[in-house]
Amino acid sequence: MTSLRLSLAGLAALLLTSCMVGPNYSKPSVSTPVAYKESPPAGEGWKVAQPGDQTSRGKWWEIFGDPQLNALEEQVTLGNQDLKAAEARFRQARAMIGFARASEFPTISTGGSVSSVRRSANAPFLTSNSNVGKTGDFVLSFDLNYELDLWGRIRRTVTAAREEAQATAADLQTVQLSLQAELALDYFELRSADAQQRLLDETVKAFTDTLQLTVNRFQGGAAPKSDVAQAQTQLDTTLVQATDIGVQRAQLEHAIAILIGQPPAAFSLPPAPLNLQPPPIPVGLPSELLERRPDIAAAERRVAEANEQIGIAQAAYYPTVSLGAVAGFEGTSPANWLNWPSLLWSVGMSMSQTLFDAGRRRASSEAALANYDALVAGYRQTTLTAFQQVEDNLAALRVLAQETDQQQHAVTAAQEFLELATNRYKGGVDTYLQVLTAQTIALANERNAIDILRRRIDASVLLIKAIGGGWQVADLPSVAQTRRAPDS
């Protein structure tokens, strides 16, 4: 009992003097502008976010007011395989927390053995009158091993696992946001193709009427054969353009099917031309972007994890102290195996210290420091890229808003030119070349107007993605949540 008391006293002394080696974590600093350079005036696709503004929180795509898009976005969460893979990686990271935490507790094992041994009468070092016979050995033991976390290696390993789980949770949100934005972009691209298709179909009808006009004038002797040829060429060229839209639309429809987890053959969307305006988007301040981007949060959590790895590497310079205990029964036969006199036990501590490793620990520590520096640089680069993406799309919305007004004037002027040219051709004042030129200009301007609207909607989607889609760092799983079972 005296030895047991001494062992317990030594254990208490070690626990009281234990400490954490390695640096404490401090979030890396990031240069953050006071305001966005490209912030346009309110009402041009942007507005200052208010403290209670929830417009882009959660189901941010509902801001566009398209029921078909809303239904498709819901299917991304349920059917997309990339998202399921990211969710599985998060569950894996959370399970690794339990693996790391297991080292905080003793490992208890049990074992039993039964053996019977007969010694040889001719064994060396036995005298002629030595007792030779059979002996039995029946053992049932319980072993306990426990590493004392004196230098914080185990605690830092658990913390690193939790930070990796939080980073993986942010990765999951990044994948989800990217897939949702990609679906919205493909959807609006498809609706833009539908708008182009409707315009070209209407133009084909108009050009067919014009062709008939030239035929009538030719047959009446009021126009040359060349007018008919030019009108036919214009019609055929437009038919080719209308048919070619089908390729783009089919590819976009296939892409949407894959995003929602369906084979392309089982999915179709009825035509519905793009007919909406970019909604006002609450952007907020640059300082808020660090709390709203899941990829920034993931990068920051991995910096914190790398900081723990430095402490783990430094802990290798210190001794490893373990507590061991064995208790059980040992007898010579089943009759006396589990009797009280057959009880055995032992308890004690062991310490090991590496004296020479040819620089292995130093190299490991230097590698951990270098990895930390690399992740800090990656975190800062991620924030710079985020600022750039917001600025790019704010600039796009600002410039495209101006282009929309300019293009609308051009469309109106081109339609007036076409009407005048057609009337003058009917009256025999101008040649058909004027009509042909006016038709080409009008069609090009109307198609460009549709394309500018598409680009504005795309910039709106990308801006929402750039500001995190309403996500917040507070949405990361807490320490308590990471302790739950992966399927809870």
pLDDT tens digit sequence for 310-359: 999 999 999 999 999 999 999 888 888 888 888 999 999 999 999 999 99
**Highest mean pLDDT pick, 19-33, 214-228, 269-283, 450-464:** 450-464
pLDDT digits (tens, 9 = 90+) for 85-109: 999 999 999 999 999 999 999 999 9
Give the global pTM.
0.85
What integer is the mean pLDDT of 244-262?
96
pLDDT at 5: 56
pLDDT digits (tens, 9 = 90+) for 112-131: 999 887 766 666 665 555 56
Number of C-beta neighbours around residue 111 at 10 A: 10
Indicate whether 56 pLDDT > 70.
Answer: no
Pick 96 or 474 by higher pLDDT: 96
The DSSP result for 320-378, as a single string, is: EEEEEEEEEEEESSTTTTTSGGGEEEEEEEEEE-----TTHHHHHHHHHHHHHHHHHHH
- Rounded Cα distance, 187 and 75, in Å: 13
In this structure, which topology does domain 23-105+151-318+359-482 adopt according to CATH?
Outer membrane efflux proteins (OEP) (1.20.1600)
Indicate whether 152 pLDDT > 60.
Answer: yes
pLDDT digits (tens, 9 = 90+) for 70-81: 999 999 989 999
pLDDT at 314: 94
- Per-position b or e across 32-48, b if 16+ CB within 10 A of its CB: eeeebebbbeeebbbbe
Instruction: Please state, for a pLDDT cut of 90, what percent of the chain lies above it.
Output: 71
pLDDT at 107: 94
